[in-house]
Chain A
């Protein structure tokens, strides 16, 4: 292990004189307290490193130790249901309510262990070699990438600590590698897969405006930009709770501590609608709040996606919620500035775009080394300064994502949530998931979606016109369009995360609601064509009930939606009949 001596320190950046070889991006232990750091530049006998923890108290002469490996994290069967810091060190189980810098002892977890391979058998990456029955979804233990050899020894069944060496594999060159329940993986490197598969299945988010208008496929990438107060975090949390991924990795990157408390408070008590188990059991939380060290904020995004890839390699569908990627970009900027690099746009380093690209590229639906199907779906929140989407982080991200969910301050101010703007958002995945929706509940899905977008587009145009001539001066069909667009907004697109009945909307309920609203649209247009005055349609007493559709008819009341549908049908048809020409 190489050593070095600190020569210069300011903020999170240090310089040191090397007394042995160091690698670029090698992880370091800095000073007496063993602060975690990473080499970012090597020149002559000097290295420059960034430190992931508070550097107060460091002085020249302090020792640095190399670890001979890039910044890495330990992955294993105990990951789920826990909260970690940006470097995947557990935050639970610490006594003090305040975080101190420095080395933290890792508390080993014990697992019951059952071997699944015998001495003399061949073991390759991705293959199951053991079982840890208490680990739930992660109970099958697979050989890490790079393993290919013959089992030389394997422990007998029993209780073991997760870091204990349990199996030895000898490869063709005769090198021995020992395996434990844990594996170490460098966070900045994508984990290998057997093949990348095309996206075809939607990831159901349970939010109507997303699933119907701007769907995301499993293995897809979405950006969620919005100024402060537009509901980014509430929407991210709603997705973390209700989307139909197998597991969720939620990374709070430079965000509020109280929001993390909220997540930790709710997840243990909310039931997963699919399994009936507490949602916390399917979640990994990585928290680097805004007052935790900035360099670790930069690392936390990589930590999170590495964890997501590890879970994917267990044959799971993973959704990664990153809140917020802007804080990550700002951490890049801050460190780049301290390294004295030439700034690019708005002070961000010139490599911002390539970093964003390589992060989002790690999202995919894949065939794993073990032969299973798995996926990582990435949803990154963006906090553009001043809510201006032309700033570098939003602009670059836009090029790398397939779904763009733009949050709108005007909708948020009217407490219209989710405040996704239907005109500026888009989804390239819509075509890919059409077949799924057509086979699962709504054969007219594509047509309905197109009609909705059309109505909303016309609404914006007509409202501009109404602003000049007055709403009453518009021809009746246009007044009807405004009425119907308003209904679509209120009945379908609005969905409160705080309403127990409506916070989650299953595909079946979405289809039922969509069919009902679209049927009303048809009937109302037909009625108008038959001469029913627009005044009568606007004053229909059934309209307020339609607008509260989601709120009044929850998951257990799909029959209620059908019944309301029959009622609406009868009312509007009768109206039209009375006005028969």
Chain B
């Protein structure tokens, strides 16, 4: 490996986060650099473009304080890396992978490039190990499996942090063969109290020892936010694919990430796409979200639980929209349910888990699980539709069957969605069957006759 090379007095122009240098050394695209200003502070950056006689460096931290003459640039020989080792567990890092818990640096077994590499699709194993999260709307209706990426689409002020923390604490396999389990938490542009909430929750339950935290605070440079999830995912991949852990990665809040992406793109003078976000935002988000999965022949897995706050609660906004196209479903939180005091306020109908069918049913959870979930979805969708009708015409104008659907809808929200403590899948299913009792069996066309006979005493059918 080539030793690091320094150069000073080569900076010819500074424009926002971009540094234009004379090309005095041979360095390649995307190589990491350290920029030291006259103030002595060291900033991380990387080579964004190379020309015959010029280099463009993208500084990933604030450029305030840099000058043309007094700036030294140190070129490394490789892209940005993270030092990884078993010592990562229990530690807290800043958004650039430097310890901020007062502890010593992590003894490095290896240095891994933070951009990772694409998993060969032919080496992926189909994720199908059901994870019980204790949340009925997830376990029963939108099941999470190991190796999945399932984001929480939330809004400002909704309890997504609490939900993510609870899932991280409760998640378990039903088979009991839990294996080594760890949590990687990446706070991207989060407020100090958000980060502290997560830390203290993990600490009070004794889970901090198998947690790694990367914290990019709201007042850190925005370009740094682009790196925080990459450091976190690199740590997760190491723990999963080399140490054999089952890693749950909580990334919050991806909206801050995308805002930073837009900001940096604008400073590069790139042609913007929808709402000013760069045209490559899909590819860029994919380079994060696709770093989840199971590999053939390797024990560990990476499961992602990204959290994003939908700007103006709009699910069609580019951030949730592009995310939904990449991730394997979404859990949508709802302000109206939250106002009614229902926790967790999961809006079931637009929520989805694409890998659910692979991980539930006979041989995985319970043979009746798919049909029950399907029937609950169909009936609740119909009930919500009727509720809209009722709000126009009044409930008196409805037929009897329609009124029973209204009753079903509120029971669904009060008994299935709302919950004060974790439930096993069996408990969740039991509640599901009970709530369905409020509907006439003839309406339950997604259930087989055998299922109806087993769960409904007064089977009204001929």
Q: Say yes or no: B52 contacts A97, CB within 8 Å.
A: no
Q: Does A355 make an interface contact (CB < 8 A)?
A: no
The answer to whether the Cβ of A96 comes within 8 Å of any Cβ in the partner chain is yes
Q: Are B290 and A257 in contact (CB under 8 A)?
A: yes
B96 within 8 A of A: no
* Chain B: CB-nearest residue to A413: B349
CA A260 to CA B324, docked complex, whole Å? 17
B241 to A: closest C-beta gap in Å: 8
A56 touching B148 by the CB < 8 A rule?
Answer: no
Instruction: For the complex, give the distance between the alpha carbons of A292 and B116 in Å.
Output: 11
Contact residues in B for A258 (Cβ distance below 8 Å): 124, 126-127, 147-148, 293, 328, 355
Contacts of A347 in B (CB 8 A): 271-273, 279
Contact at B442–A92, with CB atoms within 8 Å? no
* B312 within 8 A of partner (CB): no
Q: How far apart sit A473 and B28, CA to CA, in the bound complex (Å)?
A: 75
- Which of A5-13, A148-156, A439-447 makes up part of the contact surface? A5-13
Which residues of chain A in 541-557 are interfacial with respect to chain B, using CB atoms and an 8 Å cutoff? 541-545, 547-548, 551-552
Question: What separation, in Å, do the CA atoms of A500 and B145 have in the docked complex?
Answer: 22
CB pair B49–A10 under 8 Å, yes or no, is yes
Is the CB of A466 closer than 8 A to any CB of chain B? yes
B contact residues around A8 at 8 Å (CB): 49-52
CA of A265 to CA of B296, assembled, Å: 11
A3-32 contacts to B (CB < 8 Å): 7-10
Judge if B171 is at the interface, Cβ distance under 8 Å: no
Interchain CB contact (< 8 A) of A10 among B48, B289, B298: B48
> In the bound complex, what is the Cα–Cα distance between A103 and B117 (angstroms)?
16
- Which of B44-89 touch A at CB < 8 Å? 48-52, 56, 79
Q: Does A343 contact B (CB under 8 A)?
A: yes
Q: Check if B26 sits within 8 Å of A59, measured CB to CB.
A: yes
Contact between chains at A415 and B377 (CB < 8 Å): yes
Instruction: Decide if B293 touches A257 in the complex (CB within 8 Å).
Output: yes
Q: Mark B12-50, 1 if CB is under 8 A from A, else 0.
A: 000000000001001111110000000000000000111
- On chain A, the residues within 8 Å of B381 by CB distance are 413-416
In chain B, positions 286-319 with a C-beta closer than 8 Å to chain A are 286-287, 289-291, 293, 295-296, 298, 316-318
A111–chain B nearest beta-carbon distance, Å: 22
Whole-angstrom distance between the alpha carbons of A386 and B318 in the complex? 7
Q: When the two chains form their complex, are residues B50 and A60 in contact, meaning their CB atoms are under 8 A apart?
A: yes
Which chain A residues lie closer than 8 Å to B56 at the CB level? 10
Assess whether B119 is interfacial by the CB under 8 Å rule: yes
Q: Does B194 contact A (CB under 8 A)?
A: no
Instruction: Say yes or no: B115 contacts A56, CB within 8 Å.
Output: yes
Q: How far is the CA of A257 from the CA of B79 in the complex (A)?
A: 25
Nearest residue (CB) in B for A31 is: B28
What distance in Å separates the Cβ of A334 from its nearest Cβ neighbour in chain B?
5
Is A98 in contact with B120, judged by CB distance below 8 angstroms?
yes
| Chain A nearest CB, measured from B48 CB (Å) | 6
How would residues 421 to 436 of chain B score, 1 for a CB under 8 Å from any chain A CB and 0 otherwise?
0000000000000000
Task: Kindly state whether residue A290 has any CB partner on chain B within 8 Å.
Answer: yes
Q: Is B178 an interface residue (CB 8 A)?
A: no
Q: Which residues of B contact A415 (CB under 8 A)?
A: 374, 377-378, 381
CB distance from A17 to the nearest CB of B (A): 9
Given known contacts A385-B321, A413-B350, A541 and B462 CB-to-CB distance under 8 angstroms: yes
Q: In this assembly, does B389 line the interface, its C-beta being within 8 Å of a C-beta of chain A?
A: yes
Query: Counting CB contacts under 8 A, is B1 at the interface?
Result: no
- Is A273 an interface residue, CB under 8 A from the partner? no
A386 vs B275: C-alpha distance when bound (angstroms): 12
**Does A457 interact with chain B (Cβ within 8 Å)?**
no
A188 at the binding interface (Cβ < 8 Å): no
Which of B291, B357, B392, B399 is in CB contact (< 8 Å) with A498? B357
Contacts A99-B120, A544-B445; is A262 near B126 (CB within 8 Å)? yes
B316 lies within 8 A of A387 (CB) = yes
Asked whether any CB of chain B lies closer than 8 Å to the CB of A468, the reply is yes
Pairwise interchain contact B120-A56, C-beta atoms closer than 8 A: no
**B10 within 8 Å of A by Cβ?**
no
Chain B residues in 8 Å Cβ range of A334: 279-280, 283
**Could you tell me the distance in whole angstroms from the C-beta of A7 to the nearest C-beta in chain B?**
5
- CB of A264 within 8 A of CB of B329, answer no
Look across to chain A and name the residue whose beta carbon is closest to the beta carbon of B315.
A386
Cβ–Cβ < 8 Å partners of A466 in chain B:
389
Chain B's interface: helix, strand, loop or mixed, by majority? mixed
Q: Mark A289-325, 1 if CB is under 8 A from B, else 0.
A: 1111010000000000000000000000000000000
Does B370 count as interface, using CB distance less than 8 angstroms?
yes
Chain B residues with Cβ below 8 Å from A547 are 445
Q: A10 to B291, alpha carbons, bound, how many Å?
A: 24
| Chain B residues, CB < 8 A from A552 | 448
| A389 beta carbon closer than 8 Å to chain B | no
CB atoms of A260 and B124 under 8 A apart: yes
Taking the nearest CB of chain A, how far is it from the CB of B195, in angstroms? Answer: 28
The answer to the question of A201 belonging to the interface, with a C-beta cut-off of 8 Å to chain B, is: no
In the complex, what distance in Å separates the CA atom of A131 from the CA atom of B293? 42
A269 to B298 Cα, complex, angstroms: 22
B residues in contact with A99, CB < 8 Å: 117-120
Q: From B25, which residue of chain A is reached at the shortest CB distance?
A: A59
**Residues in B whose Cβ lies below 8 Å from that of A228:** 321, 324-325
* A565–chain B nearest beta-carbon distance, Å: 17
- Cβ-closest chain A residue relative to B78: A57
Q: Which residue of A lies closest to B323 (CB)?
A: A228
Name the residue of chain A whose CB is nearest to the CB of B374: A415
Whether A346 touches B273, Cβ cut-off 8 Å, given contacts A258-B124, A541-B462, is yes
Q: Which chain B residue lies CB-closest to A58? A: B29
Judging by beta carbons under 8 Å apart, are B286 and A97 in contact?
A: no
Given the complex, which residues of A lie within 8 Å of B115, measured CB to CB? 56
- Whether B109 is near chain A, meaning CB under 8 Å from some CB there, is no
Tell me if B455 counts as interface (CB < 8 A to partner A): no
- Interchain CA distance A387-B31 in the complex, whole Å: 39
Q: A residues 213-260 with Cβ under 8 Å of B?
A: 227-229, 233, 252, 254, 256-258, 260
Q: Is B290 a contact partner of A55 (Cβ separation < 8 A)?
A: no
Residue from B23, B28, B329 having most chain A Cβ neighbours under 10 A: B28
Cβ-defined contact, A416 with B378, below 8 A: yes
Report A540 CB to chain B, min CB distance, Å: 9
State whether the Cβ of B122 lies closer than 8 Å to any Cβ in chain A: yes
| Interchain CB contact under 8 A, B52 and A290 | no
What CA separation (Å) do A383 and B324 show in the bound complex? 11
| A356-392 Cβ-contact flags toward B at 8 Å (1 or 0) | 0000000000000000000000000001011110000
The residue in chain A whose Cβ has the minimal distance to the Cβ of B373 is A415
Which chain A residue shows the least CB distance to B26? A59
Chain A residues lying within 8 Å of B445, measured Cβ to Cβ, are: 490, 544, 547-548
Does B192 sit within 8 A of A, measured CB to CB?
no
Q: Does B165 contact A (CB under 8 A)?
A: no
Interchain nearest-CB distance for A346 vs B (Å): 7
Do A383 and B51 have beta carbons less than 8 Å apart? no
Neighbouring B residues of A541 by C-beta, 8 Å = 442, 460-462
A191, CB-defined interface residue at 8 Å? no
Closest CB of chain A to B385's CB: distance in Å? Answer: 8
Q: Which A residues lie within 8 Å of B296 (CB)?
A: 97
Residues of B within 8 A of A289 (CB): 118-119, 121, 286, 290
A261 touching B121 in the complex, CB below 8 Å, given contacts A385-B274, A414-B382: yes
Task: Report whether B321 and A292 are in contact in the complex, using a CB–CB cutoff of 8 Å.
Answer: no
Please encode chain B, from 334 to 358, with 1 for each CB lying within 8 Å of some chain A CB and 0 for all others: 0000000000000001101011011
CA–CA, A238 and B280, complex, Å: 30
Q: Which chain A residues numbered 467 to 488 have a C-beta less than 8 Å away from chain B?
A: 467-473
List 17 additional A-B contacts (Cβ < 8 Å) besides A57-B28, A61-B26, A229-B330: A8-B52, A10-B48, A60-B52, A94-B122, A254-B282, A258-B293, A261-B124, A287-B121, A330-B279, A385-B318, A386-B316, A387-B316, A414-B382, A416-B378, A467-B393, A548-B448, A551-B448
Q: Sorted from nearest, which 8 A-B pairs have the closest CB atoms?
A: A290-B286, A414-B381, A386-B316, A228-B324, A10-B49, A261-B124, A470-B397, A260-B121
6 contacts between A and B (CB under 8 A): A56-B28, A57-B29, A227-B321, A467-B388, A468-B393, A471-B402
